[in-house]
Homo-oligomer: A and B are copies of this chain.
């Protein structure tokens, strides 16, 4: 409410920052003898403008002042937050690495409360949605694995939090350890969905030769039951984009009689395309684009 009162009145009276600055300059440029008098004149003008009845100002706030040019005008914190929002809202696509200037911002985000809170908000919404459904035996909820179910944060902490170019070999070695921990908010959601009687189907870009270690890893951290776990068969999907693979596997599910009531992933490629599910959920991931 205080915004209405202060901004509406000041705006209507065209009493902008520039005017204030001009007054300040008049005062500071003056000799001491003149200063006192000018200061009081300024005070009177200010009092007059503030007291001016702001007719018709009900709908007024400051127009946002124009800034032009393409160079960076915001602090790193602000512009890195914008970069991350652009990624999450699918405005920024096909990027290769996190901007170098945002490395520390991304590290702080992932290791702090905001990432947890963002994930929790998504998972809670997914649960609230699911519990209103009338579940049948053929209803499935599709889960991605990497950075949806299992966290690769340990890996990325050692690879510049996304600033380094992707290293497929190193990443495969990391996955082969089977030591990823669970994303806690997703684990809560998973348990709640299983409790509601919804079957879980994992669809992962991980190749078939990493399926066993993936199963061990999932079980070790609390993901104990599922209807199917579909890994990528390199023979079938060689050279295909992630989205093509996932769409194709979802179509097979539907052809088998399943109904995809929900679909959750950390990449837009997980949750767009045909048979994407009745409702989709995008978990945060500012580390890579797939």
Contacts and interface: CB of A to CB of B under 8 A. Distances in A.
A263 to B, nearest CB: 12
A70 B154 CA distance: 27
Interface stretch (A47-55, A179-187, A207-215): A179-187
A184 B62 CA distance: 13
Chain A binding site: helix, strand, loop or mixed by DSSP? helix
A239 interface: no
A39 to B, nearest CB: 30
Interface string A188-205: 100000000000000000
Interface string A1-26: 10110011000000000000000000
Q: Quick one: copies of this chain in the complex?
A: 2
A132 to B, nearest CB: 12
Given A64-B184, A125-B91, A184-B65, A59 B151 contact: no
Contact of A157 (B7, B81, B92): B7
Contacts of A65: 184
B91 A61 contact: no
A120 B155 CA distance: 32
24 contacts: A3-B107, A4-B157, A8-B158, A59-B174, A59-B177, A60-B154, A61-B111, A61-B153, A62-B111, A64-B181, A64-B183, A66-B187, A74-B113, A74-B116, A75-B113, A83-B121, A85-B121, A85-B284, A86-B118, A86-B121, A86-B125, A89-B284, A91-B122, A91-B125
Interface of A: 1, 3-4, 7-8, 58-68, 70, 73-75, 78-79, 81-83, 85-86, 88-92, 107, 111, 113-114, 116-118, 120-122, 124-125, 151, 153-155, 157-158, 160-161, 174, 177, 179, 181-184, 187-188, 281-282, 284
